[in-house]
């Protein structure tokens, strides 16, 4: 039996991981891979509105499944997707970015062709796309088998994107060598550790925990990227250690867990008692590498000294002045579970509570009455997607019901990410609905993806909070700037205009209307799109002191 072509073999090897979707925009140089996707029976093509949206959708899919595939063409396509790939690199999301390139006969002769600068120079965009990946390869028939294995290994080991170039002619030629049939991602050993280092690191961690008077755990979303949520739960249950989550790590653990002390965000923690509980701990086990950036720490209002922290990264562990290298997060967790003993937790905490219902049927909708009703609408299996903006502040402080997942892009913070990302999340989420909350400012950047949603009809509920402005910009600056005003769009009419059939659509201005449409959504299996009117006055600017904490513009006093 003849070997498959380079493009078909690549599609087959990536589908071996269990990936069943390819997000992208077709382009002539990418035809060999796009054709291979159609030929590969285990993959389905998702034709996105543009390459940026496709990269966001692949990001969302990979967050829930573990990895994703993105297909774009040379130059114009890959560069349009670059912002999305930078977000994946920053937030540790493995996406295999496959880029179709001009044939080697064209590049060898330095012919002037489209999607270039017209100077006969090729490969000059590669360093840009490589900067958003942890590994790259240019495939040929001779190297395809070995290079694809290297790329898969590195992307999964590092939990970051891979950049794969398939020249148009190479894509059509059979691979040379013996093709490999791979394993699903859940069965792949993603990192190779030195057993003696892992054992010693686990002993060091457990020794420090036992010596501490009131230790606490801060787990990181990196555990989810490596598929370790269940092992984390096993560790917390085996040790009885109290733990908190930062907003960037929300959704990692059940928020009704008896050991959960709340969302830690420095001076903006929820409940407020969480700050004192976390900061009074004499030892903090940082599992996975919490990111102490501005938004994740209440504008750097956290107070955690490095001397009190055990750092468990994906490949190393540090306890005090001792460092163990060549470890693996999964194996360290296994060793800790094997050595676990029950700790007598001394923490007394005010558990997070459901948001109090406010407002009556005739009241105008606002944030105060929207979020409590959203919280009660959610059910097990749902995944809540928070767009970058003011909604992320509210959602981060909201207690998630049992069995509800959560995704946000707090570190990279690219507005517009949420809408296409929710498409990808919905295609990977087999357990329930995907519920997106987005502001109208962010939504305007990428709402052309609604037409794509209408084509594929995912299990998706979208709430667009319409206040007519870039609300988050007003919060961080001041009101009244013309550049913060948005084009006035009748959002609830968008799904029908873009071909979405049998969707529940509504524009709500009162609490009664909101409750009615939420009830209808929960009694239906149809996708839904709800425009919720929110007062622009809610986006009042923060004080000058708070803005200076965020941007450090004032000359510090001596």
φ, ψ at 309 (rounded to 5°): -115, 135
- Between 471 and 239, the higher pLDDT residue: 239
State the pLDDT at residue 473. 59
State the pLDDT at residue 537. 78
State the pLDDT at residue 557. 82
> Is residue 245's pLDDT more than 80?
yes
State the pLDDT at residue 54. 98
State the pLDDT at residue 549. 75
Burial classification of residue 311, based on how many CB atoms lie within 10 Å of its CB (0-12 exposed, 13-18 middle, 19 or more buried) = middle
Query: Any idea of the CA torsion for 501, 503, 509, 515, to the nearest 10 degrees?
Result: 160
Report the alpha-carbon distance of residue 298 to residue 268 in Å, rounded: 5
> Is residue 545's pLDDT more than 80?
no
State the pLDDT at residue 188. 95
Q: Among 97, 128, 108, 110, which residue's Cα sits nearest to residue 33?
A: 97
- What mean pLDDT do residues 444-459 have? 96
> Is residue 472's pLDDT more than 70?
no
Q: Among 527, 532, 383, which residue's Cα sits nearest to residue 471?
A: 532
| Residue 12 confidence class, pLDDT cut points 50, 70, 90 | very high
Find the length of the chain: 558
Q: Among 545, 540, 372, 524, which residue's Cα sits nearest to residue 471?
A: 540
| Residue 506 confidence class, pLDDT cut points 50, 70, 90 | very high
State the pLDDT at residue 329. 97
- What mean pLDDT do residues 98-111 have? 92
Of the chain, the percentage scoring pLDDT greater than 90 comes to 84
Choice among 121-130, 161-170, 239-248, 324-333 with the minimum mean pLDDT: 121-130
Burial classification of residue 1, based on how many CB atoms lie within 10 Å of its CB (0-12 exposed, 13-18 middle, 19 or more buried) = exposed
> Is residue 483's pLDDT more than 90?
no
State the pLDDT at residue 474. 54
> 3-class DSSP state for residue 526?
coil
> Is residue 268's pLDDT more than 90?
yes
**Structure token digits, residue 48:** 């996105």
pTM for this predicted structure: 0.95
Q: How far is CA 88 from the centre of its chain?
A: 7
Report the alpha-carbon distance of residue 173 to residue 403 in Å, rounded: 47
| Residue 341 confidence class, pLDDT cut points 50, 70, 90 | very high
| Residue 423 confidence class, pLDDT cut points 50, 70, 90 | very high
Q: Which residues contact 88 (CB under 8 A, 6 or more apart)?
A: 55, 58, 59, 62, 94, 95, 132, 160, 161
**Structure token digits, residue 131:** 């900067």
Please state whether beta strands 322-325 and 316-319 pair in parallel, antiparallel, or not at all (unpaired): antiparallel
| Residue 469 confidence class, pLDDT cut points 50, 70, 90 | low
> Is residue 93's pLDDT more than 60?
yes
Q: Which residues of 171-189 are buried (b: 16+ CB within 10 A; e: fewer)?
A: bbbebeeebeebeebeebe
| Residue 82 confidence class, pLDDT cut points 50, 70, 90 | very high
Q: Which residues contact 414 (CB under 8 A, 6 or more apart)?
A: 56, 83, 84, 87, 388
Report the alpha-carbon distance of residue 256 to residue 403 in Å, rounded: 10
How many other C-beta atoms are found inside a 10 Å radius of the C-beta of residue 274? 23
| Residue 447 confidence class, pLDDT cut points 50, 70, 90 | very high
Tens digit of each residue's pLDDT (9 = 90 or more) over 293-316 = 998 998 899 999 999 999 999 999
- What mean pLDDT do residues 413-417 have? 95
User: What is the residue-wise DSSP string for 112-177?
Assistant: --TTS-SSS--STTHHHHHTT-SEEEE--TTTHHHHHHHHHHHHHHHTS-EEEEEEHHHHHSBPSS
| Residue 351 confidence class, pLDDT cut points 50, 70, 90 | confident
State the pLDDT at residue 513. 98
- What mean pLDDT do residues 156-183 have? 97
- What mean pLDDT do residues 333-345 have? 94
Which DSSP state fits 557? P
State the pLDDT at residue 315. 96
State the pLDDT at residue 475. 55
- What mean pLDDT do residues 162-170 have? 97
């Amino acid at each position: 039996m003849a070997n498959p072509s380079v493009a078909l073999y690549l599609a087959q090897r990536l589908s071996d991981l269990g990936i069943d979707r390819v997000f992208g925009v077709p382009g002539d140089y990418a035809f060999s891979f796009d054709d291979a996707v159609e030929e590969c029976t285990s993959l389905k093509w998702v034709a996105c509105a543009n390459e940026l949206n496709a990269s966001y959708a692949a990001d969302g899919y990979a967050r829930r499944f573990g990895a994703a595939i993105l297909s774009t063409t040379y130059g114009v396509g890959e560069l349009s997707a670059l912002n999305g790939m930078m977000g994946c690199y920053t937030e540790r999301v493995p996406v295999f970015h496959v880029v179709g390139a001009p044939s080697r006969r064209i590049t060898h002769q330095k012919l002037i062709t489209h999607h270039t600068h017209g100077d006969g120079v090729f490969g000059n965009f590669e360093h840009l796309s490589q900067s958003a990946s942890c590994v790259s390869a240019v495939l040929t028939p001779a190297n395809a088998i070995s290079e694809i294995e290297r790329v898969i290994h590195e992307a999964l080991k590092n939990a970051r994107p891979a950049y794969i170039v398939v020249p148009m002619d190479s894509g059509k030629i059979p691979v040379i060598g013996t093709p490999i049939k791979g394993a699903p991602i859940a069965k792949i050993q993603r990192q190779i550790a030195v057993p003696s280092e892992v054992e010693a690191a686990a002993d060091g961690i457990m020794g420090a925990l036992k010596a501490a008077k009131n230790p606490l755990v801060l787990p990181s979303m990196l555990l989810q990227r490596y598929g370790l949520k269940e092992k984390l739960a096993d560790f917390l249950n085996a040790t009885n250690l109290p733990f908190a989550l930062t907003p960037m790590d929300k959704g990692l653990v059940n928020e009704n867990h008896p050991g959960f002390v709340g969302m830690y965000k420095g001076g903006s923690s929820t409940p407020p008692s969480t700050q004192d509980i976390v900061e009074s701990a004499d030892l903090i086990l940082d599992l996975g590498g919490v990111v102490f950036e501005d938004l994740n720490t209440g504008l750097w209002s956290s107070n955690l000294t490095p001397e009190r922290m055990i750092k468990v990264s994906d490949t190393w562990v540090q306890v005090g002045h001792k460092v163990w290298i060549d470890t693996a997060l999964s194996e360290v967790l296994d060793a800790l579970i094997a050595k676990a003993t029950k700790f007598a937790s001394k923490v007394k905490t005010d558990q997070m509570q459901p948001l109090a219902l406010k407002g009556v049927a005739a009241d105008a909708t606002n944030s105060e009455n929207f979020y409590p009703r959203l919280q009660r609408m959610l059910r097990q299996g749902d995944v809540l997607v928070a767009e970058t903006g003011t909604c992320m502040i509210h959602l981060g402080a909201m207690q998630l019901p049992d069995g509800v997942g959560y995704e946000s892009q707090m570190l990279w913070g690219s507005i517009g990410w949420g809408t296409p990302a929710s498409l990808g999340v919905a295609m990977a989420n087999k357990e329930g609905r995907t519920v997106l909350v987005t502001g109208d400012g962010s939504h305007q950047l990428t709402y052309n993806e609604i037409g794509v949603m209408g084509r594929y009809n995912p299990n998706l509920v979208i709430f667009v909070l319409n206040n007519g402005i870039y609300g988050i910009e007003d919060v961080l600056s001041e009101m009244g700037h013309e550049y913060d005003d948005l084009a006035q769009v009748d959002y609830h009419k968008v799904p029908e205009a873009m071909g979405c059939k049998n969707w529940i659509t509504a524009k709500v201005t009162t609490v009664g209307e909101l409750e009615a449409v939420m009830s209808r959504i929960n009694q239906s299996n149809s996708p839904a799109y709800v425009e919720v009117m929110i007062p622009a006055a809610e986006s009042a600017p923060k004080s000058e002191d708070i803005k200076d904490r965020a941007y450090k513009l004032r000359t510090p006093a001596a």
